[in-house]
Amino acid sequence: MRRKAEVAEQLSWEARLKAELARLEARNRQIRWINLLAVAVLIYGAVSLLTHPSFWRREALEIKIPPPVLFVVLILLILLVLYLVRRELEIRRLNLLALEEKLAMESERSAGMIDAVTHVFSRRFLVELLQGEIARAERNRRPLTLVMCDLDHFKQVNDRYGHLVGDEVLAQTASILKSCVRGSDYVVRYGGDEFLLILSETDEAGTGAVLARVREKMAEGDRVAEFGVSLSLGVSLHRAGHTAEQDIAEVDARMYAGRSVPKAESSAG
């Protein structure tokens, strides 16, 4: 579920970015108030320097240090506060820029993960995704099954009816495959008319149930049935120690060896 959670993660980045912007705006308001305070102190200090010393006594303010010294101290304190606030704002600005860059990268990454035609995962992240599933399967000692799906007679559809109709067939096939697996599984567009199913914690019996659903729904699909499109499937059970590349090569070879919808019992290894 890690890759599927990235969309939610992207939304959380957007929420964090908005929160940072709100905090930055609040800091800007604080800076404006401090600036007003600094102006008031400057005016007050200037008046005290230009008026007779009795100005201070009329206010019944007893000061042990000369007013000019007090004025300088106040100015230094305000300058120090301004420096600290501006320094914090600069740090926040840099953090905000880093957050925006991270958000842009995550958005680009998320967009690249989904195939534009079929709305399933693209091949670009297949190896990375499969490596994570292999590690989890071996760590938990749970089965992991791959199913390679190839559309039969798809080239004839493209040649006769055009690529727009071909895209409709691909999209419906992807939708059927997604409806036949669980939320923890993955459907990846492996090639032009090839899809790869990654079935986590799925043994031979579970794979057989998935293939049965695929066969049934492919027969019911209006576009795929209309053009006589079917699927050739190859099934391979991950073996401990195999890499993602080895698993993909094996299930691909099984699909081309069968070129028909096989039974899970005869195709899983």
49-87 pLDDT, tens digit each: 666 555 555 555 554 666 677 677 777 777 777 777 777
CATH number, residue 182:
3.30.70.270
Question: When comparing pLDDT for 97 and 216, which is higher?
Answer: 216
Whether pLDDT at 130 is above 70: yes
Q: Which domain holds residue 195?
A: 121-267
* Claim to verify: residue 136 and residue 104 sit in the same structural domain: no
Whether pLDDT at 192 is above 80: yes
Domains in the chain, number: 2
Whether 224 is in a domain gets the answer yes
Rounded to 5 degrees, what are φ and ψ at 119?
Answer: 60, 30
The residues annotated with a catalytic role in the active site are 193
* Claim to verify: residue 25 and residue 148 sit in the same structural domain: no
* Claim to verify: residue 171 and residue 241 sit in the same structural domain: yes
Confidence of residue 11 (pLDDT cuts 50, 70, 90): very low
Confidence of residue 10 (pLDDT cuts 50, 70, 90): very low
Cα separations in angstroms, 218 against 150, 169, 195, 203: 13, 11, 14, 22
Q: Which of 50, 80, 113 is the last residue of a domain?
A: 113
Predicted local distance difference test score (pLDDT) of residue 267: 38
* Claim to verify: residue 135 and residue 238 sit in the same structural domain: yes
* Claim to verify: residue 99 and residue 134 sit in the same structural domain: no
Rounded to 5 degrees, what are φ and ψ at 263?
Answer: -80, 145
Least confident stretch, 45-54, 105-114, 218-227: 45-54
Predicted local distance difference test score (pLDDT) of residue 137: 94
* Claim to verify: residue 35 and residue 101 sit in the same structural domain: yes
* Claim to verify: residue 178 and residue 151 sit in the same structural domain: yes
* Claim to verify: residue 126 and residue 93 sit in the same structural domain: no
Q: What is the mean pLDDT of the chain?
A: 78
Whether pLDDT at 44 is above 50: yes
109 with 155: CB under 8 angstroms?
no
Predicted local distance difference test score (pLDDT) of residue 212: 93
Q: What is the mean pLDDT of residues 217-231?
A: 83
* Claim to verify: residue 69 and residue 138 sit in the same structural domain: no
Q: Which token pair is 180?
A: 């036949």
* Claim to verify: residue 10 and residue 65 sit in the same structural domain: yes
Q: CA 159, CA 257: separation in Å to the nearest integer?
A: 25
Tell me which range, 9-18, 55-64, 95-104, 141-150, is most confidently predicted by mean pLDDT: 141-150
* Claim to verify: residue 58 and residue 100 sit in the same structural domain: yes
Whether 178 is in a domain gets the answer yes
Contacts of 72 (CB under 8 A, 6+ apart): none
Whether 1 is in a domain gets the answer no
Whether 131 is in a domain gets the answer yes
Confidence of residue 125 (pLDDT cuts 50, 70, 90): confident
72 with 46: CB under 8 angstroms?
no
Whether 218 is in a domain gets the answer yes
Whether pLDDT at 253 is above 60: yes
Q: Which of 113, 135, 168 is the last residue of a domain?
A: 113
* Claim to verify: residue 128 and residue 204 sit in the same structural domain: yes
Whether 125 is in a domain gets the answer yes
